[in-house]
Amino acid sequence: MNDKLKLETILMHLAEEREAYKGAVVPPIFQNSLFTFKDWQSIDEAFEDRINQFIYSRGKNPTVKMVEEKIAHMAGGERAQLFPSGMAAITASCLHFLEPHDHVIAVKNLYGPANNLLKNYLVKKMNIEITFVSGENIQDFENAIQENTKLIYLESPSTAVFTLQDIQAVAELAKQRNIKTMIDNTWATPIFQKPLAMGIDLEVHSCSKYLGGHSDLVGGVVIGRQEDIDDIFHHEYELLGAKTAPMEAWLLMRSLRTLPMRMEKHQSNALAVAQFLESHPKIEVVHYPGLPDFPQYTLGQKQMSGYTGLMAFKLKTNMLEKIKAFVNSLKIFQVGVSWGGHESLVYAPAISYLKELDEEQFKGLGISLGDIRISVGLEHKDDLINDLRNALETSFEL
Ligand SMILES: *Cc1c(COP(=O)(O)O)cnc(C)c1O
């Protein structure tokens, strides 16, 4: 396809060969486990080129491949590999770079299960060493480097407190020291942040969030250089059997067609909501990288071209009953985990933490009971703001 076309146009058409499927405007779902060949010689030749040929759907599948080509183009990578979940993509990327006794530097606010994978699972299974850093200064990384450091794992912005890392500076440092880098780019999406162009080796996403965007699929993707992605395909994908369902890939292809437009809307809605919350007397602080008052706003402006819809804020109360009343008073924001879909959601870290800790221990962690996370969806911003205003007015007094 013509590389001079704009992203919106390319996402509609790239990798779709309509004449090959009778002109169907939407490609079919290739829901087949195997592919047949006309004779001995043609299957023999297919085995010579397993990266590009369709033989068995634990390997390459045409529906999955179409989506991979679109995502690779969008992120500016040579290749992309879809996975059945974001966690499968993260696990594959870690296993690709790591060998037993290697050392990893990761940001301490990493997505919870990724943190668990490194700290509990890989430490136990592979004796890897791990250092968590706050990641706000390049010195954090420099100081943590050891002889056996093989990988630096970033998540910018993080999706707990939205802290950023200087992606280009970390990539340069890592290259000088011969260390590989990966980033979880789920929050910003390739629409608003291009880590591969800043020198990062692998970019991973949960497609269950904005890339899918309709809360009807779970998926993941890794994007990078051909040599890394081909190796991940042969080992962590095909050998470990992390096969992507063609149906999920097909839903994701549908979603990518509207991704640029959805992200513009998430951005304008979220900015309006963040500004409303910031000015409300019952809100102590809003954590949102798109607000000029955000502590790392300048860094965000340097490395992102826009902001998405997930943010957190703190209510000016520490009384659990009032916090519960606030959450329960919301009518449009629905209570649930995950984020990045068309619908607005609310979640409080206290819901899961209080299962393991009492209120005193909880405060000791530096998280407050009144911390609330919202995913701003695609409803009209006035309705979202009115919903929040009403819940703030009715749930507690200062
Ligand atoms: C949800 C999420 C993941 C994991 O993705 P799944 O598709 O749920 O496996 C990884 N990173 C971030 C930042 C996420 O929000």
Q: Which tens digits make up the pLDDT trace of 200-225?
A: 999 999 999 999 999 999 999 999 99
Residue 366 has a pLDDT of: 65
Mean predicted confidence (pLDDT) in 370-384: 97
Which DSSP string do the residues of 83-108 spell out, in sequence order?
Answer: ESSHHHHHHHHHHHH--TT-EEEEET
Res 50: pLDDT: 87
pLDDT at 103 over 80: yes
Average pLDDT, integer, range 64-80: 98
Burial code (b: 16+ CB inside 10 Å, e: under 16) for 36-47 equals eeeeeeeeeeee
Question: Is the model's pLDDT at 344 over the cut of 90?
Answer: yes
With a 6 A CB cut-off, is 185 part of the ligand 1 pocket? no
Burial degree of 205 (CB within 10 A; 0-12, 13-18, 19+): buried
**Whether pLDDT at 322 is above 90:** yes
Residue ranges of the chain assigned to CATH 3.90.1150.10: 259-395
Separation of 349 CA from ligand 1 center, angstroms?
Answer: 16
Q: Exposed, middle or buried by CB within 10 Å (0-12, 13-18, 19+), for 290?
A: buried
- Percentage of residues in the chain with pLDDT exceeding 90? 91
Strand partners, 152: 105, 181
Which CATH code fits 7-30+61-256? 3.40.640.10
Greater confidence, 333 or 398? 333
Residues in the chain: 398
CATH of domain 259-395: 3.90.1150.10
159 CA: nearest ligand 1 atom: 13
CB of 208 within 6 A of ligand 1: the answer is yes
Place of tokens 């013509």: 2
Torsion of CA 92, 96, 99, 100, to 10 degrees: 0
Average pLDDT score over residue span 286-295: 97
pLDDT at residue number 341: 98
Contact 151, 204 (CB under 8 A): no
Q: Are strands 149-155 and 180-184 parallel, antiparallel or unpaired?
A: parallel
3-state secondary structure of 163: coil
The verdict on the CB of residue 308 being under 6 Å from ligand 1 is: no
Range in 79-88, 160-169, 265-274, 360-369 the model is least confident about: 360-369
Name the pLDDT band for 365 (thresholds 50, 70, 90): low
Percentage of the chain lying above the pLDDT 70 cut: 98
Residues spanned by CATH 3.40.640.10 within the chain? 7-30+61-256
Residue 350's pLDDT is 85
**pLDDT tens by residue, 223-247:** 999 999 999 999 999 999 999 999 9
Q: Which atom of ligand 1 is nearest to the CA of 218?
A: 7
How does the average pLDDT of the chain come out, rounded?
96
- CA within 13 Å, CB half, 184: 33
How far CA 386 is from CA of 113, 168, 169, 284, 336, in Å, comes to 34, 40, 41, 19, 20
Which of 94, 164, 206, 252 has most ligand 1 atoms within 8 Å of its beta carbon, as the pocket-test mutant? 206
Task: Look up the pTM and report it.
Answer: 0.96
